[in-house]
Structure 1
C-alpha cells in the first residue's frame, strides 16, 4: 500500500472505511520553504493523532517530503484521494500562521478539518514529538553525504582507519558516533537571504554570545557547525575561528538540516529552518528572540510561547 493508502483490497472494504471516517484532517497546501512544509505536515499529523482522526495529505506533498525523509505514516491513519473527494463537501478550512488554538486539542473538537497556512505553533504536535522526529528521519543518501563531511574533519584531527571513513552509517548511527567523538557538536543556522529585505536577521553579537555560552559549558572541545543560505558571508565572518566548520556549498537545504539534526545542541537565529534543526537534534537550543526595529506582520503575530517549545532557551530576554 502506498503511503497515502491509495490501493484498496475490495469495494466493500473501502466503503466500510468511508463510513467509519468520522474525523478527518486534510493537508493540500504547499507553501513556503522546507521548514514551513514541515510545520504544516507536523501539525496535520499531530492533530490527527490527538483525535484519532484519519489523515489525507495530497500526494505531491508526500512525494516532495519523500525526496528528503523516510516517511512511514501508519497505514491505518491515511486515506486516499477518492475518500477525500467523497467527503470534501463537509470539510471546513482553517487558516493559521503561528497561533496556537487550545480549543482544537479538546475532545471532539475536530470533525472534518483542512489546514491552510503555515501552522507554526508547536502545541498542535509537540505531544507526539518522537513520532514526528521518526517521520523526519533523513534518507540514507543524505545521511551518507553528511557523514562524509563529519568524518573527514574528525580524521584530519585524529588517526582514523580506512574502514572508519568507508563505513556507511545511518542518521541514527552517525548521531551516536558524533557523541563518541572527542567533541561537542553545536549546530548553527544563519538565515539571511530574503530576511535581509524587510525582515530581521540575528546579530553577530547574539551568535558569538551563544557560542561563548556553549564554550563556557562544554569547554574548548566545542565545535560549531554553521549552515546557512549565505555561506560566503559566513566564511568571511567566522572562518578565522578554529572551532567553526561551515557546510559545503554543494549541500542542499535538506543536507544542511540533516547536519543540524545530528548535532548535540543548536543555536537558533531566525526562521523555521533552524527551529527544525533544534527540534530534530533534541538537545539544548539557544534562541534569538529580540524583535526587530521594524517588525513585520509575521513578527507581530507570532507569540513566543506558541513558536518556541519550553525547552528552547534565550540569551537575550528583551522584546
Structure 2
C-alpha cells in the first residue's frame, strides 16, 4: 500500500443500515462511492489502486460497480487493529460516515493525501466537526 498510489475506500454497512439506525445513518449510497472514486480519478493521479474495506465485502462487490485490476477487496478475516493499520497505510481516502473510517485517514502519514467525504455524517442535521476544510465533499 505504501509503495502504490493507494486509496482506502471505507464502506460501513452493518448497524448503519439496520431498521433501527438506517433513517439516521444510511448516508453513503453506492452512488456516493462511485462519485468519490470519479473525483479522485479526475485529479489525474497516476496508477490509483482502490483498497475496499467493509463489514460487508460481498455487498460492495455486487453494488459499488468497482471492478478491474486496480480494485482490491480486503478480507475482514483479521483483527480490527490490523484493518486500521492497513487503512492508514494508504495514501488517499474515500471515507464513509464513521469514526473508524475517520481514524484511518487521521493516522495516515501521507503528506499529500486527498480525502473524499460525505458532506454530512447523518440524516438528523448534526454537523460533524470531523469534516476538514481541505477535504473533497460529496453531497449525499
Contact 1:187 1:224 in 2 (8 A): yes
Which position in structure 1 is the counterpart of 2:132? Answer: 309
> Which of the residues 82, 87, 99 maps onto 1:260?
87
Contact 1:226 1:245 in 2 (8 A): yes
Which position in structure 1 is the counterpart of 2:9? Answer: 188
- Distance of 1:229 and 1:291 partners within structure 2: 18
- Distance of 1:259 and 1:192 partners within structure 2: 19
Which position in structure 2 is the counterpart of 1:226? Answer: 52
Report which of the two structures shows the higher radius of gyration computed on alpha carbons: 1
Please list every run of 5 or more consecutive structure 2 residues that lacks an aligned counterpart in the other structure. Answer: none
> Which of the residues 28, 34, 37 maps onto 1:208?
34
Contact 1:266 1:281 in 2 (8 A): no
- Distance of 1:241 and 1:233 partners within structure 2: 17
- Distance of 1:194 and 1:290 partners within structure 2: 18
CA distance 1:209–1:187, shift in 2 (3 Å): same
Which position in structure 2 is the counterpart of 1:285? Answer: 115
Please list every run of 5 or more consecutive structure 1 residues that lacks an aligned counterpart in the other structure. Answer: 1-149, 151-174
- Structure 1 residue ranges, 4+ long, deviating more than 6 angstroms after superposition: none
CA distance 1:272–1:221, shift in 2 (3 Å): same
In terms of fraction of residues, the more helix-rich structure is 1
Which position in structure 1 is the counterpart of 2:72? Answer: 245
Report the TM-score when normalising by structure 2: 0.79
CA RMSD of aligned residues (A): 2.2
TM-superposed CA distance for 1:265, in Å, is: 0.6
Between Structure 1 and Structure 2, how many residues are aligned? 131
Helix, strand or coil at the partner of 1:255: helix
